[in-house]
Amino acid sequence: MCEIFCFNSNTPKKINECLQCFYNHSEDHPHGWGLANMQSNEFVIDKEPVKATCSQHLKDILSHPVIGKNVFAHIRLATVGEIVSPNCHPFTKADDNNRSWMLIHNGTIFDYPKLDEYIDKESGDTDSERILLYIIDKINEFEKSKDAPSTIKERFNILTEIVEDLSKNNKLNLMIYDGDLTYIHSNMKDSLYYLKNEEGFLVATTPLTDDENWKPAETNKLFGLIDGNIIFESGEHENEFILTEEHEKSMDDFLKSITRDEIND
């Protein structure tokens, strides 16, 4: 699967050290990297379908200060979709009220037929991009019915329902940003950690520093962050994901198919 990273703070901070540590994990996640620095009026996004440690573009980025208050990063171990640029995270899309959304995902959707209708609508061929398209449609439906833009709390409530439903039988470690709110969700034990300190709020698949205050993120809940603080927390759902031999075989078969394609190329 993949690894994901988020930094959320009330003021822009330099986070090169954490990012460098995060991207060093790409030896085990070689199928692409992404970086999103979410400025107030625009999303600055870079991504490539190559191993992060082999990317000159990423080295150039990290050779300068990376400063932001809402920063997201992703390294990919493909379980669905080809190793091409459109399949690299983050994914972004605007809703009908021109609010831009961003999503990164660590996991696999094994069972959710509602996403199938987006196979012909997405730019790439990943289950992760389909999740974002589905969320955007649900937001558009709500705002059309309301005949007005949604509030932050309304969007959090909509995503709470979506995430609970999506998490049944699927691994759904998600980080989403809607221009105001950062959404964090995990439904697998010991697969997401957080550190809150004076710098802000760090969330990552594995601890990235020697700080002993890293803690496992609570599972089966959706959290909403603004300015380094949790402002919304959903109730707990019951859809914990437990990796089975069948899941592992499915992912191994996909990875073997990628290897065969690379050899044939």
- Tally the residues of the chain: 265
Cα→Cα distances 161→19, 166, 191, 234, Å: 32, 9, 22, 10
Fold of 3-264: Glutamine Phosphoribosylpyrophosphate, subunit 1, domain 1 (3.60.20)
Question: What value does the mean pLDDT of the chain take?
Answer: 91
What is this structure's pTM?
0.92
Domain boundaries, the chain: 3-264
* Distance (Å, whole) CA 259 – CA 84: 14
Contact 183, 174 (CB under 8 A): yes
3-state DSSP percent of the chain in helix, strand and coil, to 5: 30, 30, 35
Which string of b and e fits 53-84 if b means at least 16 CB within 10 Å? bebeebeebbeeebebbbbbbbbbbbbbbebe
Using one digit for the tens of pLDDT, what is the confidence trace for 160-206? 999 999 999 999 999 999 999 999 999 999 999 999 998 899 999 99
Using one digit for the tens of pLDDT, what is the confidence trace for 126-169? 999 999 999 999 999 999 999 999 999 999 999 999 999 999 99
Q: Is the pLDDT of residue 264 over 60?
A: no
Residue 238: strand, helix, or coil:
coil
* Distance (Å, whole) CA 108 – CA 4: 14
Contacts of 259 by beta carbon, 8 Å cutoff, 6+ apart? none
Using one digit for the tens of pLDDT, what is the confidence trace for 210-260? 999 999 999 999 999 999 999 999 999 999 999 877 766 766 665 555 544
* Distance (Å, whole) CA 205 – CA 200: 17
